[in-house]
Structure 1
Amino acid sequence: MFSFAAPRRRRRPSLTPMIDVVFLLLVFFMLASQFGRDTAVPLSAGGGRAPYSGPPRLIDIGATDLRLNGVVIDAETLAARLEQLTQDRDDLIILRADDDATLQRLIDVAHSVQQAGFTRLSVVE
C-alpha cells in the first residue's frame, strides 16, 4: 500500500504581511488627508500689472519693529498710514524682511496689511 509521511504540525499564519499592509494604509491616509485649511496671502515676485507710481510704500519688517519708509511705526497705525500714502487699495506695497525677522513675522504683517484691504503686496529681499 501507500506509505504516507507522518503528518506535520500545522503552522500558524504569519501576521507580518498584514501588519505591513496596515502600516502602508496608515501612511497613505496620513499623507492624503488634509488636517487643516491653510490660508494663502497672495504675493507677487516683482513685475506687475502696472508700473509703480506714487510715494514710496516700503515696509521694513524687523524681529520686533516695523518701519514704513524708514520711520519706526506701530503695527496698529500701519494701515492708517498706508491709506495716506496710497490713492487706491490696489496700489503696490513692498515688504522687506530684515535678517533677524522670522518668516512667521513676515506672514503676520502681510496678513494684517491684507486685512486692512490692500490687495497688491510684493516681497523683496
Structure 2
Amino acid sequence: ELGADHVINGGEADVLNEIARITHGTGADAAIDCSGSPYAENNALDCVRAHGRVAFIGESRETTIKPSDQLIRKQITLIGSWYFPIHEYDEIADFIIKKELPVEKLVTHTFKLEEAERAFQLFDERKTEKAVFVWE
C-alpha cells in the first residue's frame, strides 16, 4: 500500500532467504531498520551485499552483532540516524505528495499541541511509535 516492490512478513517467512531469492543471491544494496529490534538489526546487517549500506533509525537498548562477519569482511557502511535534518523536509514532503503515499497509515498516535508534554513523556517511555501533533 505504501509503494514497496516486495513485502516480507518475518512471522511467515525467513527474511534472509527471501531477500536472497529476490536479489538472486546478491543481497540487498541497502537496509534500514526502523524498529530497533536486535533481531531486525542483525537481519539488516546480514541481508546486505558486500559494500552495502545499513541504517539503524529505530532505537535499541542493546544489540549484539558480529563485527567481523557483518561489517569488516563485507565492508559495509553502517550509520545511525535519529531524525531527518530540516533541510531534507521539502524533498521528503515532495516525494510523499508526488507518490501520493498514504502516510496516515504509519501514524500510531495523534496529540493536540496542548498535550505535547504528555506526548514527549510517552515517547521517552517508548510507549509511542509514529506520533503527530494535530491542531484544528
The structure whose Rg is larger is: 1
The structure with the greater share of residues assigned to strand is: 2
Same fold, judged at TM 0.5 (above):
no
TM-score, normalising length: structure 2: 0.26
The structure with the greater share of residues assigned to helix is: 2
Bigger RCO of structures 1 and 2 (CA < 8 A, at least 6 apart): 1
TM-score, normalising length: structure 1: 0.28
